[in-house]
Structure 1
Amino acid sequence: MSAHPRYSLNQATVKHASLAEAIAATQEAGIESIGVWREPVADIGLDAATRLIADSGLRVSSLCRGGFFTADDGPERTAALDDNRRAIEETAALAGAGAEGSAAVLVLVAGGLPAGSRDLVGARERVRDALGALEPFAASAGVTLAVEPLHPMFAADRAVVSTLGQAIDLAVDAGPSAGVVVDTYHVWWDPDVLQQIARAGSLGRIASYQVCDWLTPLPADVLLGRGVPGHGHIDFGPLTRAVVDAGYTGDIECEIFNADVWARPYDEVAGETADAFARVVAPHL
């Protein structure tokens, strides 16, 4: 069994798997690349995680996630910046352990409004400041900071960066070691998305492309409304062709937050998502 060579299984799709279990499911499905999350790495320690990655022969497509730096100046913000520096070091180590073609990409989620705050403009400025502070450290480590815009319904509690255009502006302001994530779930609704994908490509800023579908009705926890590509409302053709035309040649991750998917055997999920990718995404590459 062999998956499309650019397909990468993001570990969030098999959320309850350990890193070793996620690697095994990825290999069983013939997938060549994996997107890693920090929590499973922390569970076993970075040294053990890098050994697992090195022994697996898999590429690393990204590390999720850093960010969450919208707090006002003070201990919480200092701690967040320090944690992001650790995440940058982890990204470099894991990518270095991966097979040839691994990407030292740290996915960043901006963070929502601080408790009690309604100052959306100020929160976005603090994201800009944090990226500017972290970019030189990332550059020295050979890591790309990948700003991921999230759907506007998450602006209050998860990400004050809501459009691809906003993410590109932040990356450009931060410096050459910053880019953006194009995640179909978060950007498919945006009437300007195709133009913004082209803009990101012209600036060399597309650091990651992630695919999953938009399901309705939305679940009570809207975070868990993502589906296997082809099961929902997103037209993957125009988005994928735009990313390709913009010059992105890296791995393409499937990242699904869905309780029903998480409850299934990991190898089944890996195989199903690889098959879905081959049907609805790969024809447009």
Structure 2
Amino acid sequence: MTAPDGFALNQQTVRQWSLPELVSGCVEAGVRSVGLWREPVRAYGPAAAARLLRAAGLGVSSLCRGGFLTAPGPVARTEALAGNRAAVDEAAVLGADTLVLVSGGLPPGSRDLAGARERVADALAELGPYAAACGVRLAVEPLHPMYASDRCVVSTLRQALDLAERFPAEQVGVVVDTYHLWWDDTVAGELERAGRGGRIAAFQLADWVTPLPEGVLLGRGQLGDGCVDLRWFHERVRAAGFTGPAEVEIFSERLWRRAGAEVLAEVLERYRAHVL
């Protein structure tokens, strides 16, 4: 079974696979693009990973993740900026034109969401030109509001666009992730807004199942198992002008306990049934 055009597999969906296993499994299934995570790539070596991917003819749809830019102190800020420049460098080595950013949560003891978002904007002002010079675009990802306190103060596509639009589109875009945005009744208009500005840098798919089986972080559902209208999102993201791959990113202990090839085959089946 060959993967459809426009499909990408995120590394976390088959986290049980090593990077060489991921490459081999994707080639066998006809998948032409993968979304990667920094930790396994750094363990393997970015340059070695890039050679492996190029030899297999695989593209990189995104690299995750940079971000965590909300700390107020000068030392923490300097460290965060340095870490994000390193992430940009890794993306460039891999040939990934998109670096996904998770903004970071509230600093300990803080209740100032607006101030935290402003610190994200300050960091984007410094990182955006550097990333663009490396051929990489920063992609601000809004996460579900349940993450706002500890992981991501950017909760809606509107908030992400409000940040991104302060900067040139070639420097900063946004991520559209169905798992995080399905609940928001303003998302249709914001997708149109993102399309007009050429701001959609990455599109990710997962379903929302109730009750969350393993907490909000690891509770993502297989495509079609939950309440997200995945086809609706796919149609509107494409209508907004996004031509990049739709990346299936599912964090699930249940999937990780299964054979990777079996999971990928099921993902492709569900993608055809519930997305296309």
Per the TM superposition, whether the score is higher than 0.5 is yes
Q: Does 1:183 align with 2:177?
A: yes
**Cα displacement (A) at 1:220:** 4.8
Q: In 2, Cα distance between the equivalents of 1:17 and 1:146? A: 26
Residue 174 of structure 1 aligns to a residue whose secondary structure is coil
Residue 173 of structure 1 aligns to a residue whose secondary structure is coil
Conservation of the 8 A alpha-carbon contact between 1:149 and 1:163 = yes
Q: In 1, Cα distance between the equivalents of 2:259 and 2:105? A: 33
Bigger Cα displacement from structure 2, 219-228 vs 50-59: 219-228
2:133 equivalent in structure 1: 140
Query: What does 1:207-226 correspond to in 2, within 5 Å?
Result: 207-226=201-220
1:170 equivalent in structure 2: 163
Q: Structure 2: which 5+ residue stretches go unaligned?
A: none
Q: In 2, Cα distance between the equivalents of 1:141 and 1:67? A: 17
Using the aligned pairs only, state the percent identity. Answer: 54
2:193 equivalent in structure 1: 199
Q: Which runs of 4+ in 1 moved over 6 A?
A: none
2:223 corresponds to which of 215, 218, 229? 229
1:41 equivalent in structure 2: 41
2:56 equivalent in structure 1: 56
1:276 corresponds to which of 262, 265, 270? 270
1:4 equivalent in structure 2: 4
Q: In 2, Cα distance between the equivalents of 1:174 and 1:157? A: 26
Note the alpha carbon deviations across 1:171-192, whole angstroms, 9 max, x for none. Answer: 1113331100000000010000
TM-score, with structure 1 as normaliser? 0.94
Q: Does 1:253 align with 2:247?
A: yes
Q: Does 1:154 align with 2:147?
A: yes
Q: In 2, Cα distance between the equivalents of 1:236 and 1:221? A: 21
Q: In 2, Cα distance between the equivalents of 1:33 and 1:81? A: 28
1:93 equivalent in structure 2: 93
Note the alpha carbon deviations across 1:201-253, whole angstroms, 9 max, x for none. Answer: 00000001111100110135211111111111101122111111100111110
Q: In 2, Cα distance between the equivalents of 1:21 and 1:120? A: 41
Conservation of the 8 A alpha-carbon contact between 1:46 and 1:90 = yes
Q: In 1, Cα distance between the equivalents of 2:38 and 2:255? A: 20
Q: Structure 1: which 5+ residue stretches go unaligned?
A: 96-102
Q: In 2, Cα distance between the equivalents of 1:28 and 1:115? A: 47
Q: C-alpha root-mean-square deviation of aligned residues, in Å?
A: 1.1
Note the alpha carbon deviations across 1:6-63, whole angstroms, 9 max, x for none. Answer: 1100001112322112112222222111101101111111121111111111111010
